Amino acid sequence: MDTVRLYRAVLKSATKFPSKNKMAIVEEIKVEFRQKRELTDAKEIEKAVAMARDGLDRLNAFSNMDSKSNQWQVSLKGPHTGD
């Protein structure tokens, strides 16, 4: 997944996140991506992309849940290590 698709996927998932603070989360994601856009070191870019993928996995784990339910069950895996 290229960076632009990853960015869009993270934003889309964040807008579905069951939280009153989801708009603040979306804004924080935008800021974080803007800051990381300036990276030039390959290892730092790789780390940032892995962190974004991990964040996407975690957002997706919650984004399809009913925010009014108290019956949430999520299984989170470790950090994303790449495809």
Please indicate, yes or no, if residue 29 is contained in any of the structural domains: yes
Instruction: Produce one character per residue of 43-67: b if its CB has 16 or more CB atoms within 10 Å, e if not.
Output: eeeeebbeebbbbbebbebbbeeee
Please indicate, yes or no, if residue 73 is contained in any of the structural domains: no
Q: Please give the tally of structural domains in the chain.
A: 1
Question: Per-residue pLDDT for 66 more than 80?
Answer: no
Please indicate, yes or no, if residue 39 is contained in any of the structural domains: yes
Please indicate, yes or no, if residue 68 is contained in any of the structural domains: no
Please indicate, yes or no, if residue 82 is contained in any of the structural domains: no
Name the more confident of 68 and 59. 59
Please indicate, yes or no, if residue 21 is contained in any of the structural domains: yes
The CA distance from 2 to 49, in Å, is 9
Please indicate, yes or no, if residue 35 is contained in any of the structural domains: yes
Please indicate, yes or no, if residue 78 is contained in any of the structural domains: no
Residue 12 pLDDT: 93
Q: What is the pLDDT of residues 31-58, one digit of tens each?
A: 999 999 999 999 999 999 999 999 999 8
Domain range for 58 is 3-63
